[in-house]
């Protein structure tokens, strides 16, 4: 049941981002692709569920249900992505009453959102906050 709810949550986010002129690739560790081309295969366990490209933000999202747990592989990959390009990978967690959360790999809640537009705006802001806090802009 939890996987079905998570799938519905992910499908809703994908649909909303694409309605906002974004593109989402749904990752899979299984080989092959669906007839619609929606799934992209990867051989790296822990790869986040979604690659999102939008004019506001581009990066990786790992979707979790209310009680879903991040695996060590997922935590490791997300931390590695963010060590290469700060603010580029987050966890989105389905919430109660459509009040969802954005989390870091340690499980800290960074912000709440209720739709894909809010999600993208928050991700955009978080990305630039990370860049400003890092040394990339201090040179």
| CATH label of the domain that carries residue 108 | 3.40.1350.10
Tokens 């997922």, residue? 74
Residues 131, 98: Cα–Cα separation, whole Å: 29
Residue 56 lies in a domain: yes
Number of domains in the chain: 1
Residues 122, 128: Cα–Cα separation, whole Å: 10
Residues 118, 70: Cα–Cα separation, whole Å: 23
Residue-wise pLDDT for 47-100, tens only, equals 999 999 999 999 999 999 988 999 999 999 999 999 998 889 999 999 888 799
Residue-wise pLDDT for 109-137, tens only, equals 999 999 999 999 999 999 888 877 765 54
- Residue 36 pLDDT class (50, 70, 90 cuts): low
Residue 102 lies in a domain: yes
Residue 53 lies in a domain: yes
Residue 12 lies in a domain: yes
- Domain span at residue 83 reads 2-133
Residues 133, 129: Cα–Cα separation, whole Å: 6
Question: Residue 5 is encoded by which pair of tokens?
Answer: 């709810």
Residue 94 lies in a domain: yes
Residue 138 lies in a domain: no
Q: How many CA atoms lie within 13 A of 108 on its CB side?
A: 3
Question: Residue 36 is encoded by which pair of tokens?
Answer: 């619609």
Residue 139 lies in a domain: no
pLDDT at 30: 57
pLDDT at 39: 58
């Amino acid at each position: 049941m939890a996987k079905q709810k998570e799938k519905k949550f992910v499908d809703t986010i994908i649909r909303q981002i694409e309605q906002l002129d974004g593109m989402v690739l749904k990752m899979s560790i299984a080989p092959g692709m669906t007839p619609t081309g929606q799934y992209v295969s990867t051989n790296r366990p822990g790869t986040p569920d979604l690659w999102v490209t939008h004019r506001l933000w581009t990066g990786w999202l790992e979707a979790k249900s209310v009680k879903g747990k991040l695996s060590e592989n997922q935590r490791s990959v997300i931390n590695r992505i963010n060590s290469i390009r700060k603010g580029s990978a987050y966890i989105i967690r389905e919430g109660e009453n459509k009040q969802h959360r954005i989390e870091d790999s340690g499980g800290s809640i960074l912000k709440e959102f209720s739709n894909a537009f809010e999600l993208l705006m928050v991700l955009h802001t978080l990305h630039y906050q990370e860049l400003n806090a890092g040394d990339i802009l201090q040179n």
